[in-house]
């Protein structure tokens, strides 16, 4: 994954939506996409290379919806 692809995704985040389990708000990721694209790319590429995900990526808050 290239740094430009990560930048594009970060800059298109909806700031009105809730952040992920890491607690980082979408508006922060979007506003600082130019600064964060390199470290996020490095983490993602290291994950892909090792074929492992960081443990925080495996956590999710799932709310069941009633039928």
In the chain, what are the domain boundaries? 3-53
The alpha carbons of the chain give a radius of gyration, in whole angstroms, of 14
Q: How far is it, in rounded angstroms, from Cα 19 to Cα 14?
A: 10
- 60 pLDDT exceeds 80? no
Is residue 30 within 8 A of residue 15, CB to CB? The reply is: yes
Alpha carbon dihedral 52, 35, 18, 1, in 10-degree steps, equals: -40
pTM higher than the cut 0.75: no
pLDDT in tens, 5-58: 999 999 999 999 988 777 889 999 999 999 999 999 998 899 889 988 777 767
Is residue 2 within 8 A of residue 10, CB to CB? The reply is: no
């Amino acid at each position: 994954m290239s740094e430009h692809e990560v930048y594009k995704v970060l800059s298109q985040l909806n700031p009105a939506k809730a952040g992920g389990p890491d607690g980082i708000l979408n508006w922060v990721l979007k506003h600082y996409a130019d600064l964060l694209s390199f470290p996020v790319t490095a983490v993602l590429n290291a994950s892909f290379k090792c074929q492992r995900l960081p443990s925080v990526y495996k956590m999710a808050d799932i709310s069941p919806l009633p039928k």
